[in-house]
Every structure is written in structure tokens, then in C-alpha cells.
Structure 1
Amino acid sequence: MASDGAAAAPAKTTPKKANLLDPHSIKHLLDETISDVVKSKGYAEDTRLGNWKLAIGAAVIAVALLAQFYPKKFPQNREFLLGCIALYVVLNLVLLILSYTKEKDAIMFTHPPSGSFNSTGLVISSKLPRFSDMYTLTIASADPRSISANKPVHFTKSVTKWYVFVRSSQFKS
């Protein structure tokens, strides 16, 4: 209620838009909205994995630039170039392994909410199979071996049902 007795108007947000003929656009919109809802519930995003991936990517770029602009010409820098190529391949393999083992289908990783007794955050992931309208959201514990970890929860609904579900949960306090 406002001070004059009238109900306060909800904050205006710009509606998000997606190309309804593009399933990747729809999935991206749903993922972004789910991420916003999770953040609004008091979970802070854990960006450590993303920071590691950025650092390794920067190292890959540095190796490529070093190989490209090394002051000696080709016959004299052959061993150096072979070392740069090997390092480039190894760093890209590390990025690939991180993506397949840690990141998987994750939308976001979170820290536990402040003031919570839970010692582990969440891993939120999603899937929208090709030629399907069934969107699956999975909420799991960031550390499944923790004593405070719960079993993963899976929600599978049609994209049209998710739109109604997300819109209704956005404005609940």
C-alpha cells in the first residue's frame, strides 16, 4: 500500500521477446528468465567456472598471438612454433573437458543464499530437444556429495506451460 492508501503499482519491466520459429531463441529466453527468477530468490551466481574458462581462453589467444608475431622467421622458429601449437591444443582440450565434465547443460551455478543453513549452492540446467516443445528444467545441488545436498528435481513441461509458470512465479514474493 502506498502512503495515500492506494495499492502500489508493480515495477514495469520491458517484455522479453523471442522468435517463436526458432527453438534456440525460445530456450535462451526461458533460460534467461529462469536465471532472473533464481537470482530474485536470493541466490547469488557463482562465476568461478566462467572465470576459469575466460582465463584459459585468454591464454589460448596469447599463445596464438605469440606464435603469430614471434620476431624470428619460419625456419629459425620451428621448435617454438611446434611448442605453441602443442600448447594451443592442450589448452583447448582443457576447455573442452571443463565444458563436458563440469558445465554440461548448466544455465547457472549459485552460491547458497546468505543466512541459509545449507552449505551448497544450486546447479540449474535445462534441455529443449530438437523438434520438441518439451522443456526440461533440472535443479540440483552444486555439491552432490555434501551432507546438505538434496536429490535433483526435474520439471518437464511444454514451452507454452513454462511461459505461464515463469510469469506467475516472477511476481510472487
Structure 2
Amino acid sequence: MASTKNPKKANLLDHNSIKHILDESVNEIVTSKGYPEDVRMSNIRLLIGMIIIAVALLAQFYKKKFPENKNFLIGCIVLYIVFNGILQMIIYMKEKNAILFTYPPTGAFNTTGLVVTSKLPRFSDMYTLIIGSADPQSISAKPPVEFTKTVTQWFTKDGVLVEGLFWKDVEGLINEYAKEAKKSK
């Protein structure tokens, strides 16, 4: 179980702070249950971001001045737009609200990892956590499981996360997903 040496504290007036603390804790809980994190998508996003920065720097510090480098600048602008479009497409189509992608646990018969998704709408205290298969088209994919609960049950009035309660709820959802996996075989 998580240590209480450094309690996680959120600003209760800022829903982004609350969601960040909860998402960070979910990542810790899922990875501690034997699901190694899959960072391939993050690495692809970082690579595309570095390409975008390189194109911008190239356009900024090109040796020739404006009238002479007009075609070069147009090419850089087109590349910048194309790579930004690819990056946005990856975020919109593949990641959506995902906070964690995992590989299958070592030694498991399942060939697909998990995708963990969370939602905390603005001006709402209802936190939704969804655990599903990272590859829904896979033959070993199982139906997703989810819960929606109020965040007020996991935080003290000072904004400190009661990790034991949250851990229990997330662990229960992971176990429910594992049971779904066994049921559907």
C-alpha cells in the first residue's frame, strides 16, 4: 500500500489539481498491481514535438534573410502545420482521456495491456475512472469496467488525499476487470 510519509495534497478549489493528484495515484496503483507502463505513445509524441521545434528553429535561424528565403519559410510553415496536425490527431484519436497505457502483466495469458481513462468535468465533483483493453480489437480484449464517484469521499477538508480509500476503490476496479477477463473465457 502507498506510504503516508508525504501526503498528497490538492487545492480543493482547483479541479485540475484534484484530477492531477487522482490520476497520479491511479498510475501508481495500476503499475504496482503488475502492469508495466507502456510509454511508446508518449515517446512518439515527444519525437513529433522535437521535429516541430527543429522546424521552427530552422525557420528562425536560417542564414538567408526574408526575401531570399521565402520558399524555404513556406516549406517550414507547411511542415510545422503538418506535424502539428499529426500530433493533434494522435492526441484526439488514440489518447482521448487516457492517463495510462500498460503492457500485459508478466506471465499473463492476456496479450493486451490496459488503457486507463479518467474524467473529472469542470464544476463537478464526480470522478469517472475507466479501465479497458489497450487493443479493443484484440481477441483477448475484455469489456471495459468503470466507476463514477464523488471526489469528496477521498479528500479531507484540508485537501489531503486519503490514499487508503482511493487505493481500495481503484484496486476493486482492477479486480473487477480481471474477473471480467476470467468470466469471458
Q: 4+ residue stretches of structure 1 with deviation over 3 A?
A: 10-13, 161-165, 167-172
Q: In the aligned structure 2, how far is the partner of 1:17 from the partner of 1:126?
A: 19
Name the counterpart of 1:45: 37
Name the counterpart of 1:166: 166
Equivalent residue for 1:155, pick from 124, 147, 166: 147
Normalising by structure 1, what TM-score?
0.88
SS of the equivalent of 2:51 reads helix
> What amino acid maps onto 1:75 in structure 2?
P
> What amino acid maps onto 1:90 in structure 2?
V
Q: Is the 8 A contact 2:29 2:171 kept in 1?
A: no
Normalising by structure 2, what TM-score?
0.83
The residue correspondences of 1:23-34 to structure 2 (distance < 5 A) are: 23-34=15-26
Q: In the aligned structure 1, how far is the partner of 2:76 from the partner of 2:10?
A: 42
CA RMSD across the alignment: 1.9
Q: Determine which structure has more spread, i.e. the larger CA radius of gyration.
A: 1
> What amino acid maps onto 2:98 in structure 1?
A
Equivalent pairs, count:
163
- How much identity, in percent, do the aligned residues show? 60
SS of the equivalent of 1:115 reads coil
Q: Are 2:83 and 1:91 aligned?
A: yes
Q: In the aligned structure 2, how far is the partner of 1:12 from the partner of 1:23?
A: 23
SS of the equivalent of 1:143 reads coil
Structure of higher RCO (CA pairs closer than 8 Å, 6+ residues apart): 2
Name the counterpart of 1:7: none
Q: In the aligned structure 1, how far is the partner of 2:42 from the partner of 2:56?
A: 21
Q: Are 2:55 and 1:60 aligned?
A: no
